[in-house]
């Protein structure tokens, strides 16, 4: 399956203009500031809003083609949608809201309804009305209803933005399990880098209605030049060793890097994880240091140096596949004789485990 979009859509002072070809596998995150066009794009794909011009194709179906005056209404598209506010029918019980999905059953995966209801902790809610539910409870019902309609493509518009931590973790885990079990492709709109790292295998960044970056989430979220948070390096890796005595795990991220040690928690050997290294937790030395408490020391290369003011310098370094802008004093840069191409050692005081 594939999703192909060639769209132009206009509002006063704003134009969405993009071309996108996605193989409709895995989870693709749409990321960017408010007003950049993420939610508009979902509405155009779902058919709840008609584009000004272009084409929308999914697999072997054309849902919209302005050159042929063709437009397929939402109920005839193999799509499930989860909005921020749930949009449940207020005059129906939770059980009736879920049963309503049968009227719009598509041709996608037939999920185990009992498993979804139990996993989302819905049994105590089935006879209640939506107005008595919390925001997190409404979102869990909305997700179950969308899944029960058997979509071939699931669209989610910031479904976790207003939820508490426990509800967010519950739904995040279910989304990941659904993908693992059914390979249900998902387009996921979010402002949260944590959600992107937890779920997505492709990241598309929008800015002023256009695609400004497209690729691997960990790589893009590490790049300040992409208009994203650039003060952290994100490295994907695999747990290769456990030190049970000190509750540590070694994570191998790249052949050019030594294993990076992190608190093991519930990690098991072979687990895939993403590590976050923040610029404020990095110092630079010309050589590895032996008599120090810093456990992770990584070989780096200086890429760029830019003065910030009279006393500070922004130094962009690369280690393995990751890059990071580190702020140093101008005197330190001069004493270390740092310049593009210089090889040195990053002393990493702290590593966060993002996923």
How is the chain split into domains, by residue range? 3-226, 232-353
**Mean pLDDT of successive 10-residue stretches along the chain, which has 355 residues:** 91 91 91 86 92 92 94 90 83 92 78 89 93 87 91 90 74 84 89 81 91 86 54 84 93 92 88 84 93 93 92 90 87 95 94 71
Cα 100 to chain centroid distance, Å, stands at 30
Q: What is the pTM of this model?
A: 0.70
Give helix 135-148 / helix 165-182 axis angle, nearest 10°: 10
Rounded Cα distance, 28 and 161, in Å: 17
Widest pairwise Cα distance in the chain: 72
Q: What is the pLDDT, as a whole number, of residue 31?
A: 87
Q: What is the pLDDT, as a whole number, of residue 222?
A: 66
Q: Which residues contact 255 (CB under 8 A, 6 or more apart)?
A: none
User: Which of the four CATH numbers 3.40.50.10420, 2.40.50.100, 3.40.50.1000, 1.10.3720.10 does domain 232-353 have?
Assistant: 2.40.50.100
* In contact, 139 and 86? CB cutoff 8 Å: yes
**What CATH class does 3-226 carry?**
alpha beta
Rounded Cα distance, 309 and 133, in Å: 53
**Residue 111 DSSP symbol:** -
Question: How many contiguous H segments (helices) and E segments (strands) does the chain have?
Answer: 8, 21
End-to-end CA distance of the chain: 28
**Residue 242 DSSP symbol:** E
């Amino acid at each position: 399956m594939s999703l192909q979009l060639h769209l132009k859509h206009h509002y006063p002072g704003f134009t969405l203009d993009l071309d996108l070809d996605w193989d409709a596998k895995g989870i693709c995150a749409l990321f960017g500031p408010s007003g950049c066009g993420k939610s508009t794009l979902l509405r155009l794909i779902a058919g709840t809003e008609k584009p000004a011009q272009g084409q929308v194709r999914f697999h072997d179906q054309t849902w919209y083609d302005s050159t042929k005056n063709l437009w397929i209404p939402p109920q005839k598209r193999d799509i499930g949608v989860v909005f921020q506010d749930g949009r449940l029918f207020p005059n129906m019980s939770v059980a009736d809201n879920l049963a309503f999905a049968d009227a719009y059953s598509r041709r996608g995966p037939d999920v185990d309804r009992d498993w979804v209801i139990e996993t989302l902790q819905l049994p105590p809610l089935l006879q209640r009305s939506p107005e008595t539910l919390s925001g997190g409870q409404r979102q869990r019902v909305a997700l179950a209803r969308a899944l029960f309609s058997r979509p071939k493509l699931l669209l989610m518009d910031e479904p976790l933005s207003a939820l508490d931590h426990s509800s967010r973790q519950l739904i995040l885990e279910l989304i990941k399990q659904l993908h693992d079990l059914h390979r249900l492709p998902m387009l996921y709109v979010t402002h949260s880098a944590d959600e992107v790292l937890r779920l997505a295998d492709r990241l598309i960044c929008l800015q002023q209605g256009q695609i400004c970056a497209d690729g691997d989430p960990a790589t893009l979220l590490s790049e300040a030049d992409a208009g994203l948070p650039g003060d952290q390096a994100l490295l994907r890796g695999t747990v290769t060793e456990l030190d049970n005595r000190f509750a540590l795990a070694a994570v191998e991220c790249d052949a050019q890097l030594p294993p990076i040690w992190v608190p093991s928690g519930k990690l098991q050997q072979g687990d895939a994880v993403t590590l976050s290294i923040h610029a404020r937790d990095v110092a630079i030395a010309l050589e590895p240091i032996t008599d120090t408490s810093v456990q992770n020391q990584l070989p780096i290369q200086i890429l760029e140096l830019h003065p910030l003011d009279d006393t500070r310098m922004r130094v962009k370094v690369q280690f393995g596949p990751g890059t990071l802008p580190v702020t140093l004093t101008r005197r330190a840069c001069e004493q270390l004789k740092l310049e593009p191409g210089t090889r040195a050692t990053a002393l990493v005081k702290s590593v966060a485990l993002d996923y």
